[in-house]
Structure 1
């Protein structure tokens, strides 16, 4: 399953401009790099509590925020993005990464696109927040699936669960190695997830081998006694997306 580069850049936005986070070292003077093709709306952090969050979601959020106080865990904010005028930069990005796919990209449609997990109104679709522990190379996603994500009556669609597994595994890879694309994702669905319930998605980077990352993940109930799904990403393949060494032009 190939994860879209747009989704990767959305996730990468969670790694930049974090309140209180250490700033990267200053770069030596050189030609200014243009933004790839997206800009963030930093006025809305969609990972903060909302009225649509359930009591379980708020309780888990508060517990993890408590863990963040000693610096062992970090909340990863998510900001919405909108397309900007230099869409041709993205086309160049695709040409460098996936040449055979580049001709399928429609510039007009791209300008109207938005991140899949942000395409529902609050409370109806994907409600989630992620936390990261660098020492453990572990990403935890608290996910509440809304009523518009129904598959079998009363339960979340398996594709919605897979989407959030993919996003969480991807964040583990991004935090470890930078921009990546999923080469392989295997999911074993153990039990259906009740609609509108809260689950904990736990992803861990097991090892790296050259350009390959091996990541494991599971989806459990709030009390962690019920296992809903298990997944592995083995491997996540990183590719050069062009001659530029800039982080936003590598996947």
Structure 2
């Protein structure tokens, strides 16, 4: 329990270094028909840039974790793109396959943003991601290397599903474990859509019963969760497990797949 809370605090500090990126997102995303795919790993500062924009645009996508030492999806990227470089992005709706975080960000805003243009603060990233790299170190470099216990294990038949948003410290801890275990999953973004959503599930800025924005994505997610929005939320179709609470999810993943 204590160790888990320390990891959450480290993840929170890591999120703070990015100045709030990956917290808020549009309530009305332009979700494509075919799933977007991202080959990446949690501890990469370049991958983090892309994930932040995915949260801002509130896009769901498939994640294929590629930690250092990984045996499953790194070779897929090598075969598809010719080099082991991350992030590697695939959009089957347009047939595009691409490297380079800044190019991917421009692409996402062009095809899935409201205006088709990249906002200035997302188009002027420094070539060396010092801030994001510091965030990775603060987070204990979790989600960088493969968990040796998972190397010989086959990937589950069906993708796991995780609800959260990029800057959520509790979600970040779970994503780190998914990366280290090379477990592919569908990431359902549930960023804050307005100021009334801000704060933890039990201590939001707006007091009283939580009411999601009418017609927004969060309103639909509440129907899935069967309760107020709380992340992370994991569904494993391979076992039928559905659960909240990051500590319980981490324990489940390690017991089931490590």
- Ranked by relative contact order (alpha carbons within 8 Å, sequence separation 6 or more), the top structure is 2
TM-score, normalised with respect to structure 1: 0.32
Q: Say which structure is richer in strand.
A: 1
